[in-house]
Amino acid sequence: MKILVKAPAKINLALDVLHKRNDGYHEVEMIMTTIDLADRLELSLLEQNQIHIISQNRYVPDDQRNLAYQAAQILKDRFGIKQGVAISIEKTIPVAAGLAGGSSDAAAALRGLNKLWNLGLSLDELAEIGSEIGSDVSFCVYGGTALAKGRGEQIKELPAPPTCWVILAKPFIGVSTADVYRRLDVNAVTHPNIGAMVDALHHSDYQAVCRNVGNVLEDVTLNLHPEVAQIKDQMKRFGADAVLMSGSGPTVFGLVQHDSRMHRIYNGLRGFCDQVFAVRMLGDRNKLD
Ligand code: ATP
């Protein structure tokens, strides 16, 4: 028996860090939305009681470091499952890019294994389990658009953003999320207006969405990697309505509504960057599987 699951990337329309907590995590407020750029996972039952990860991408670990492996392991431990599984990951989302690729693979593995092993768990239960794997996994279990609080695991659903194109450009560098958080000084940053972004989404106001994008981690990564600032400048120059780094970077995304401008930005950036994509937002939860 085989199950195919889609694992879409996310972007942060807004990302704020409030303070560092006593448990070492940062208290965050993030507005996330899934985009139509996805890995594909194929899950198949194995005779042997093993978890087997298969991926052609050399940056994707094929052992217990893989977040999809960890998802399978947690379910096996918690529900005493003796069946094995082979998880084949066809990677499209750039790795270590600020697009939650690993977290989304883990979330897709949880959704798929819930079916493959007939566990009958709700999305809320899967999201709760996902939060033990990583802070972004809970959001990725639901997909769509949401405000994430706490260390990212408290999810409140939001309306889909107004229709637009998302152009993503990733320079040829990887960024360590832990390193960026370590270097962040929450008292020395401009905080995005999360409330204004929530209102913009409720009013489906594209201009207000564009005005209120913001990410407190941006300056940290920009200081470490000046090429990220160059990509931001290029996108603005080519006419993007809003430009922001996603997560801890280094991927930069631009928003536009007009097809012609999307093509101009996409073609203009292709010469500069390792990976460039132009995709739609998925927006709603029900667009997931
Ligand atoms: P986030 O936006 O959640 O911080 P990211 O997009 O920056 O995540 P990932 O693509 O998830 O980063 O990869 C970060 C690291 O996680 C990689 O360097 C890789 O070693 C490890 N990893 C574990 N599982 C996976 C997976 N399924 N796909 C990609 N990387 C994975």
Residue 281 per-residue DSSP state: B
Q: Where does the pLDDT of residue 283 fall: very low under 50, low under 70, confident under 90, or very high at 90 and above?
A: confident
Q: Are 29 and 55 in contact (CB under 8 A)?
A: no
Nearest CA to ligand 1 atom 18: 96
247 close to ligand 1 (CB < 6 Angstrom):
yes
- Write out pLDDT tens, residues 7-37: 999 999 999 999 989 998 899 999 999 999 9
What is the four-CA torsion angle of 135, 140, 141, 145, rounded to 10 degrees?
A: 110
- Give the ligand 1 atom nearest the CA of 70: 24
Q: Is the pLDDT of residue 39 over 80?
A: yes
169 close to ligand 1 (CB < 6 Angstrom):
no
Q: Hey, what domains does the chain have and what are their CATH numbers?
A: 2-157 (3.30.230.10), 165-280 (3.30.70.890)
Alpha-carbon gap, residue 126 to 136, rounded angstroms: 13
Tokens 């042997």 sit on residue:
48
Closest CA to 235 of 189, 280, 270: 270
Amino acid found at 109: A
**pLDDT (average), residues 118-132:** 97
The torsion region of residue 65 among left (phi > 0), alpha (psi -120 to 50) and beta comes to alpha
Nearest CA to ligand 1 atom 12: 96
Q: Is the pLDDT of residue 240 over 70?
A: yes
- The gap from C-alpha 151 to its chain's centroid, in whole angstroms, comes to 15
* SS3 of residue 125 by DSSP: helix
Query: Which residues form the catalytic set?
Result: 10, 136
96 close to ligand 1 (CB < 6 Angstrom):
yes
Q: Where does the pLDDT of residue 249 fall: very low under 50, low under 70, confident under 90, or very high at 90 and above?
A: very high
Nearest CA to ligand 1 atom 8: 100
Tokens 């009681």 sit on residue:
49
- Give the ligand 1 atom nearest the CA of 96: 12
